Structure 1
């Protein structure tokens, strides 16, 4: 019976994935909002016992399903970003200014503030409080599609120059990188819970978990992306057979996803970073080729299906006991994060010495507030919590699951309602019509200097 119910839920998610985008395109309602509500309504029906909803009994399943969902989203995000990044050009790095600020300043501030709330308000043990901060710190590449870039531009669209929309670019690039960079702090919580005093493992954490695994993940992504780019675009001479790109074999993107993640993890790095860097490396090859759009479409469809399935199951679980241990402390943490901590941390990161709005990587005051506010929480938080709970039983309490689930739903609902009107208002302020391509270049805007 349990397997049959899973098929029913998966079938419903697939159907909704097909019909919802068209039905909702004129409404300030996102597909994730609808799926959560539909799931909650299903959960109120007399479902047979045995549906795999309890996170304590189904931790491994939750970990692997959410892991795959995040991986697919990271590949899609990496392929969607048009702004080049050359590791050897300072001017190229400056165009990514919003990203570095959000990662280096806003993310640690968010982790620290949420951990402090967990320790001071909720009375959590230090390791559990740190885990709560790490789990809820990354913005989510899965649920933030309404405030992200739409996809790769190719051919006549001049893909070598990123458009003037630094709001969508900042949120997209942040979501692509901070899922991997949240892992060092998840590991810090695990080490604190399992090894005890910080003095016994702090240097190992700094050297390996904070620096080493990041470097390995990035290098693996570069290597796998470079190798697969050669596979995809070789054979352009008349005497050679058509290349994979010319044949339109877009399933290569799945080989890239699995290979980058697998090699990254085996090598000891952060596989999430490997996947995102691999996608960006692929994107940097033959930027004008239509093959990038074909690969992105494959990933986009998979991402939609997995996302809606996870959200539908999450909605069912909400009304089947997942929020049973939620109390005022958990509600306060969730509200504080979404309404206060993330907006303030983001603005503190973006406001000082901000680049001029007419420069690549520059934002206006309202745009900085928008980037700061739309820090969507989602599927990645579920993965990190499930992973940590597998390493230490003390890190997988029912209260944590309830609090994280509440925060995700709060983010889905609040950001889902506000995303469309806010982004349209910012588009108009930038001089674009409501239906204009959000990644279209603005006349007079200086180009990003170099393709990676």
Structure 2
């Protein structure tokens, strides 16, 4: 990569230019920006044969840290732009998706991984866990609009809040997969004591502490920014967004909780303070711009990796395609319908929410995070990267082409 550094910068520059001109050139089409940038990267990876191979297994640390930054900025943006108050009635669809749809997706995909691809138990659970969360980065086009703009109907709010929370809530299952793989790699069985330790520490403590840290940091930051002794108009939006992100994440990780949950909750708690203030719009604009630039970089590199895989003749069996389409077109929609049944929502809204479970950069982060522990066999790791890459690519195109039409079918009711 180093010897091709200048050419790589040129490719990134073209990708950013595509992002800038996208609203003008492709305004009247169903093409989404992620579709365009992944396709551009794929062509570059396929034709640029002098580029050293972007091996995701050997470059796992780089992938983990880069995707982590993108997700953190996206979570802050998602939390800041939610206008809806925190009330049980309005958040019921979100809670049901998190508690019902997400576990259905995890265990269904784990079963497919185990039986269709011959993955070990830990790797199969990891496959379900990394594909379970909907993506807050690639889903930005189907989320609510900027703060105080009124673009907050039920499907957009539900998809935004789900994407904001389930990135953190996937972590317990990623840790479960890691613990199982660790036990098996050492020749031990995964005991009931280990399961209880996982439940009390990785589920109860880390989720609860993450929420608490988020609330405290968000409220404390709002006190500072909106204090009568501070003129918020003189405080840089960039500093506030980055500070809110890193303080919430840093404190949460320091007390051994989930930083992703803390960041989203902190942004939401900050937003509920002086919620009508125009300053939230400025914060959102900065976060959205930053997220878009980072997303472009990751998607182009991801596309290049896919193009190189095609050039190298990586074997893609029919099972990969069948499982990918089964997950996106059957498991997620059916799980969504089950979760939303009984709620007084129009059928079109239930269908839109259930169908638009976009997978993306969050999956890349979790997969690289888990595989960097070195508890998973190389054969399993390769299968996981192949399956997850095809699911993400398929999701980008299926949801990119269908999202706008699905949301147009829903009633335009706002909270």
Contact 2:182–2:375 under 8 Å retained in 1: no
Structure-2 residue corresponding to 1:32 = 34
C-alpha contact (below 8 Å) 1:326/1:399 kept by paired residues: no
Partner of 2:340: 350
TM-score by length of 2: 0.93
- Aligned equivalents of 1:191, 1:20: Cα separation in 2: 44
- SS of the aligned residue for 2:12 comes to helix
Alpha carbon RMSD of aligned pairs, Å?
Answer: 1.7
Hey, what does 1:341 align to over in structure 2?
331
Partner of 1:191 in structure 2? 179
Say whether residues 1:404 and 2:362 are aligned partners.
Answer: no
* Residue of structure 2 in register with 1:250 after alignment: 237
Residue 47 of structure 2 aligns to a residue in which SS?
coil
Alignment match, 1:444: none
How big is each residue's C-alpha offset from its partner over 1:67-98, in whole Å with a ceiling of 9 and x where there is no partner?
1111111111001111111xxxxxx1121011
TM-score scaled by length of structure 1: 0.86
Matched, 1:60 2:65: no
Tell me, what secondary structure is at the counterpart of 1:113? helix
CA spacing shift, 1:395–1:224, aligned 2, 3 Å: farther
In 2, Cα distance between equivalents of 1:140 and 1:187: 19
Aligned to 2:127: 132
Aligned 1:242-281 pairs, distance under 5 A: 242-243=230-231, 245-251=232-238, 252-281=240-269
Equivalent residue number for residue 450 of structure 1: none
Match of 1:203 among 177, 188, 196: 196
CA contact (8 A) 1:248 1:294 kept: no
- CA, structure 1 residues 265+167, in 2 after alignment: closer, same or farther (shift >3 Å)? same
Equivalent-residue separation in structure 2 for 1:5 and 1:391 (angstroms): 33
| SS of match in other structure, 2:314 | coil
Deviation at 1:248, TM superposition (A): 5.0
Aligned to 1:302: 290
Counterparts of 2:302 and 2:173, CA distance in 1:
25
Q: Which runs of 5+ in 2 are unaligned?
A: none
Alignment of 1:278-427 (within 5 A): 278-321=266-309, 324-351=314-341, 353-354=342-343, 356=344, 363-394=345-376, 397-426=381-410
Assess if the C-alpha contact under 8 Å between 1:217 and 1:274 holds in 2. Answer: yes
2:210 is the alignment partner of 1:226: no
Q: Distance in 2 between matches of 1:380 and 1:407?
A: 12
Match of 1:17 among 16, 19, 43: 19
8 Å contact kept, 2:181–2:375: no
Deviations 1:335-385 (A, max 9, x none): 11101100000100001x21x3xxxxxx21111011001000000000000
Aligned mates of 2:349, 2:128 — CA distance in 1: 25
The whole-number CA distance in structure 2 between the counterparts of 1:144 and 1:22 is: 20
Q: Describe the SS at the equivalent of 2:237.
A: coil
Question: Per the alignment, in what secondary structure is the counterpart of residue 198 of structure 1?
Answer: coil
Q: How many residues align?
A: 403
**Are the equivalent residues in 2 in contact too, given 1:9–1:309 (CA < 8 A)?**
no
For each residue in 1:35-54, what CA deviation from the matched residue of structure 2 results, as whole angstroms up to 9, or x when unmatched?
11111111122342336x21
Partner of 1:174: 162
Of 246-255 and 318-327, the range deviating more from structure 2: 318-327
Structure 1 residues 207-249: Cα deviation after superposition (integer angstroms, max 9, x where no partner)? 00011111111111111111110111002xxxx4x42x23252
Query: Secondary structure, in 3 states, of the residue corresponding to 1:394?
Result: coil
Relative to structure 1, the CA distance from residue 395 to residue 261 in structure 2 (aligned partners, 3 Å threshold; closer, same or farther) is: farther
Question: Structure 2 CA distance, aligned partners of 1:388 and 1:328?
Answer: 26
Distance 1:2 1:209, change over 3 A: farther
Residue 83 (str. 1) matches residue 52 (str. 2)? no
Which of the two has greater helix per residue? 2
- Shift in Å, 1:254: 1.1
CA distance in 2, matches of 1:129, 1:198: 15
Look up the SS of the partner of 1:321 in the other structure: helix
